[in-house]
Amino acid sequence: MIALRINGNAHNVDADPKMPLLWAIRDLVGLTGTKYGCGIGACGVCTVHVDGEARLACKLTVEQVSGKEITTIEGLPETHPVLRAWAAVGVPQCGYCQPGQVMQAAALLKQNPNPADEDIVKTMSAVLCRCGTYPRSLTALKLVSRGKK
């Protein structure tokens, strides 16, 4: 049994210690907001926060994160400014990569409430989207950071 702390709740999961966090979250804990897209840390749709930092759940094993504070998209407060900005701009199309985009954006703002444009572009480049939502996610993230100034 591996002890995981996800969105403030304790979960004991019966997993191989080498199981990627992604599959523990999705299959064992049953939170499906965190998506699979590549399994090699290239697409970013599985982004979660580990101790407040954006990390790719497909590249972390459950033993690496046992005891750490894990936040998934389901754990982000409803009133989070990133969610509000994403809704205001109308970013999602198919919606599949949106949890990854939102979690990347939220982590950046936590680290730096007033990111420069190049930080915004760099952060949003961590998540692949095949619907071409990039112009809108960039706009939305700029909107949040401007709003904070």
Partner 1 sequence: MTRIVNLSRRKMLKGMAGSGLILGIQFTGRSKAAGEKEKAALAGPPANFAPNAYIAIDQNGLVTLTVHRSEMGQGIRTSLAMILADELAASWPRVTVRQADGDAKYGDQDTNKSRSIRLFYTPIRRAGATARQMLEVAAAQTWHASIRDCRAVDHEVIHIPTGRTLSFGQLAKGASMLPVPTPEKVRLLDASSYRYVGHTIPSIDLVPMLRGKAIFGADVAVQGMRFASIERCPVYGGKAVSFDPKGALAVHGVERVIEIPAAATPTGHLPLGGIAVIANNSWSAEQGRKQLKVQWDLGPNATHDSTAYRAELEVAVRKPGHVVRSAGNFDAAFALSAKKLTAEYFTPYLAQAMMEPPAAFAEASGGKLLVVAPTQDPQGAKTAIVQFTGVPESDVTVRPTLLGGGAGRKAMHDFLCEAAWLAKTLSAPVKVTWSREDDLRHDYYHPMCVQRLEGGLDKNGGPIAWRHRTAFPSLAATFQANATTPDADQLGEGFTDMPYLIPNLRLEAASVPAHMRLGWFRSSMNIPHAFAICSFIDEMAAATGKDPANFIEIYLAGPRKIDFKALQVDYPNYGGSIQDYPVDVGRMQSILQLVVDRSGWGEQLMPRQGRGIAVHRSYLSYAAAVALVQVSPEGELAVQRIDIAIDCGVTVYPDRVKALMEDAVLFGINLTLGSGITVKNGAVEQANFDTYRIVRAHLTPEIHVYIVPTSALPTGAADPGVPVVAPAICNAIFAATGKRIRTLPIDVTELHG
Cβ contact 45:100 at 8 Å: yes
**Which of 5, 121 has the CB closer to partner 1?**
121
Residue span binding partner 1 (CB under 8 A) among the ranges 49-57, 63-71, 91-99, 105-113: 91-99
DSSP 41-94: SSS-TTEEEETTEEEEGGGSBHHHHTTSEEE-GGGS-TT-HHHHHHHHHT--SS
Residue 71 bridge partners (DSSP): 49
**Residues in contact with partner 1, total (CB under 8 A)?**
56
Q: Does 7 bind partner 1 (CB under 8 A)?
A: no
CA 100/CA 73 separation, integer angstroms: 8
45 binds partner 1 (CB under 8 A): yes
Assess 136 for contact with partner 1 (CB under 8 A).
Answer: yes
Is 30 one of the binding residues for partner 1 (CB under 8 A)?
yes
- Residue 42 contacts partner 1 per CB under 8 A: yes
Strands 2-6 and 69-71: parallel
The residues of the shown chain that bind partner 1, judged by CB under 8 A, are 15-16, 19-20, 23, 26-28, 30-40, 42-43, 45, 72-74, 76, 78, 83, 86-87, 90, 92-99, 102, 121-122, 124-125, 127-138
